[in-house]
Chain A
Amino acid sequence: MRKTLTLAAVTAAASTAAAAQTIDVGTTASPVGLDPHVATAFSTKLITDAVYEGLTAIDTDLRVIPSLATDWSVSEDGRTYTFTLRDGVTFHDGTAFAADDVVASIERVLDPDTGSPQASRLELIETVEAVDDATVQIVLESPSAPLLGHLANIAIMSKDFLDAGGDPQQTPAGTGPFRLERWVPDTALELVAHAEYWEDGLPRAEALTYHIVPETATLQLGLRSGAYDLLPTADIASVVSLEGQPGIETLSTQELSYGLIGFNAAEPPFDDARVREAFNYALDRQQLVDVVLFGRGQPGAPLSPALVDWAMPGDSFACLTRDVDAAQALLAEAGYADGVEVTINVLGILPQIVDLAQVVQAQVAEAGFDVTLNVQERGEFIQDWRNSNFTAFASLNGGSIDPDGTFYRTFRSGGSTNVFQYADDAVDRLLDEARIGTDPVARKAAYDELQGLLACTGPIAFLTFADLHALTRDGVEGFALHPTRDMRALRTTAVPAD
């Protein structure tokens, strides 16, 4: 009898220990492949962030910090970057990390056959070469201030793995704190700590499991019952209903991405800058924050207030404060004195965007915009968006830590995500200047001017910056929300014993 009891006690202790060291993450969407060079959907990034690392990383204050590169220097003309690589780093497949891997990874992103959407971030790279095993040199066509920030998102893969024909869509081979052990489709992805991780004492947890839970109500219950430790991207409705419940903690940070209405600048009525300005005047952004975001967020402006070094406050621009008379006057001037009918395509998978669009519809109606909302399924929306097949659309845009990251591709004529067909000579000139400029003061001046040009008559009405929320069980330590939604903090996360 005594023996049985002891045995039972030992078994119980063992299972508690095992449970205590696994971070159970609850998330709604399955990843669409695991190749971070190719699949840029957030459902993939959530997982690859734990598996891969870049030369640099970005901390929660949005500063560039060392990661796989310990140090770097920039030549006088701003075109040559020399990186010193970290010693003693091992890939999950057991091979040692060296300069060749960096070269292979960057070349893979730039290779047109890869089809990597990240290529445009590296398009200024002229050559990348291994000087020796521990040094990589990148030469640019022209100086690029945002390069170091961009490199944080370029996953470094094992050259041996790629050469052997490995497919990173299914078998990730990174240097990150966790290694993929098992992928049960539609159910879970099980990762274990990378035993040879370069930083001593990290990761703190022994394992990390992503549970795919499509139903929000189930996620909430699972967190309360202890089945999940962490919901890294909790929707606002869940936060509101769970906040203050015993055993639940809420983490918040300011998000870089923003809700927006995008206009087709090549078709009536929004080809007329006055109509775009009128739309801006017709919006009540504070009301959007209060009603749709439950007060958790900031009114929209060209740059997120999280970018403290760059963003101009929203009240710097008259058109970001509601003025229905001004809106009506502008509409009349543009020849729409009796109002104008417009259809807005709405990205239907994001409930927050649908809510925003509905409130916008009511707000602008007072100024004479008769809005029809066309709520679309994801694939349909993306197709119309890609083909500029819209009068206007409501969606969510990601931000970047350097204004160039989003501004250039979004507003430059011919920019890769300038689906608005927007073209403005002054904007183009300023974007080019700021991109190659290395003088921070001059860049700041250029971006200030750009914010002024884009706020009222640009192809986007900036609606809101939502706060980003995560929910954890009490006792989950070391996790921090990142304004870019980076999941780097998983390596320092520890979970309580049950």
Chain B
Amino acid sequence: MPAGLRLITQRLIDLLFILFGVSILTFLMIRLIPGDAVQIMLGANAEITPERVEALRAQVGLDRPLVEQYFVWIGDLLTGQFGTSLWTGRPVIEEIGAAAVVTLELSLLALALAIVVAVPLGCLAAYARASWLDVVVRVVTVAGITIPSFWLGIVLLLIVFAVAPGMQTFGYVPFVEDPLGNLQIMALPVLSVALPIVANLVRMVRTAMLDSLGQDYVRTARAKGVGESRVVLVHALRAALVPVVTSIGILTGYLLAGSIVVEKVFTLPGLGRLVVGAIEERNYPLLQTSILLVTATFVLINFLVDILYTVIDPRIRR
């Protein structure tokens, strides 16, 4: 078997094991934390007798043994039945799908913005090392890394409210219904999610570029009389991209974490809010399945990043 193919097969097997573990973990965790769906539904303050609680538990299917509940869930999943949300009664997959679209839009826009801003800025800072530009970039990026995105979100909301009170910043409209309104609403959340990533990425690009600009092959290229822009953009940047791509992969994971708080601040109906809401309401079917799907996506992204290395840097294939 060729080395590349073996790598891919190995990663795929790992992936299955990870998903199996995660399915058990999420299933158990939501059930091991005290308080179940029925108690949440009743509130802290109701006139409840234990018999009534039992009757409700039976309605929701919580009276069956844990092992049975798990296998029913997994069995359904494998046959393509994702179950229904406890409270709205709608198919879980529909609710996750709707939320995923929002988070995906938020993440992709933020990532695109981050790459477009960070890569040139990082290159410039590295190329003009120790100049005033480099110093400014370094100071600003430290601030960008340390500012929490939910705080940034609230501050952005306040600024927009003071400067342009007419701008649509509340609620959510899908892109297909109203593209302009959608982009208006997404602008601030994207900015709040993107800023810490820009800051991280700029520093990453700068360091990687500094490293590769000092390499022998760059000097060789210059000695051969290759043009300066070609030296930087082709010879140095390409080698610098490997660590950058790795960190973009990892940052994509952080995007999801960041979007949980940002979605809360901007009331976006994305995956982050879906998951947090499902935990608070003990919406078991919704939570289990969404965590599993999110994990699968995350693992898959890492898998693709691994593959991407081999494309960028042929040395890894060996």
Report A's interface with B, CB cutoff 8 A.
30-33, 38-42, 44, 112-121, 167, 169-170, 183-188, 211-215, 217-218, 221-222, 224-225, 227-228, 347, 377-386, 395-398, 409, 416-417
Contacts and interface: CB of A to CB of B under 8 A. Distances in A.
A184 B269 CA distance: 9
B264 A214 contact: yes
Contacts of A212: 267
A120 to B, nearest CB: 4
B267 A218 contact: yes
A32 B21 CA distance: 30
B171 A211 contact: yes
Nearest to B39: A382
Q: Range of interface residues on chain B?
A: 35 or more
Given A218-B170, A218-B266, 15 more contacts: A30-B277, A32-B41, A40-B42, A40-B43, A40-B45, A40-B46, A112-B55, A119-B52, A183-B88, A185-B95, A217-B154, A217-B265, A377-B34, A378-B44, A417-B48
B42 to A, nearest CB: 6
A207 to B, nearest CB: 15
A347 B161 CA distance: 34
Contacts of B165: 225
A33 B157 contact: no
A224 B39 contact: no
Contact of A41 (B40, B161, B266): B40
Contacts of A228: 170
Interface of B: 33-36, 39-49, 51-56, 59, 85-90, 95, 98-99, 150, 154, 157-158, 161, 165, 169-172, 264-267, 269, 273-274, 277, 280-282
14 contacts: A32-B87, A33-B41, A33-B87, A41-B41, A115-B54, A185-B85, A186-B277, A218-B267, A377-B35, A380-B34, A382-B44, A383-B35, A386-B53, A396-B45
A222 B170 contact: yes
A225 B49 CA distance: 45
B154 A32 contact: no
A119 B47 CA distance: 8
A71 to B, nearest CB: 29
A31 B35 contact: no
Given A32-B40, A224-B161, A385-B44, A186 B273 contact: yes
Which A-B residue pairs are the 10 nearest by beta carbons? A379-B35, A115-B55, A41-B43, A117-B46, A380-B34, A115-B56, A227-B170, A170-B89, A187-B269, A383-B34
Contacts of B55: 112-115
Contacts of A121: 47
A185 to B, nearest CB: 5
A386 B269 contact: no
A211 B267 contact: yes
Contacts, number: 158
Contacts of A185: 85, 87-88, 90, 95, 98, 269, 274, 277
Given A117-B52, A378-B280, A381-B35, A417 B47 contact: yes
A380 B35 contact: yes
B52 A31 contact: no
A416 B266 contact: no
Given A32-B40, A41-B41, A116 B33 contact: no
Contacts of A409: 47
A484 to B, nearest CB: 13
Contact of A379 (B34, B172, B269): B34
A379 B47 contact: no
Contact of B44 (A118, A170, A381): A381
A32 B283 CA distance: 9
Contacts of B90: 185
Contacts of A170: 87-89
A222 B39 CA distance: 32
A119 B36 CA distance: 21
Given A32-B281, A187-B267, A227-B171, A117 B47 contact: yes
A409 B86 CA distance: 29
B33 A117 contact: no
B48 A395 contact: no
A118 B52 CA distance: 10
A167 B39 contact: no
A41 B46 CA distance: 8
A422 to B, nearest CB: 16
Contacts of B89: 167, 169-170
A382 B47 contact: no
A186 B51 contact: no
B59 A115 contact: yes
Nearest to B45: A398
Contacts of B42: 39-41, 117, 382
Residue among A30, A188, A224 with most chain B CB within 10 A: A30
Max chain B C-beta neighbours (<10 A), residue from A121, A218, A384, A396: A218
Contacts of B40: 32, 41, 378-379, 382
B157 to A, nearest CB: 5
B262 to A, nearest CB: 10
B45 A377 contact: no
Most-contacted residue by chain B among A44, A221, A380 (CB, 10 A): A221
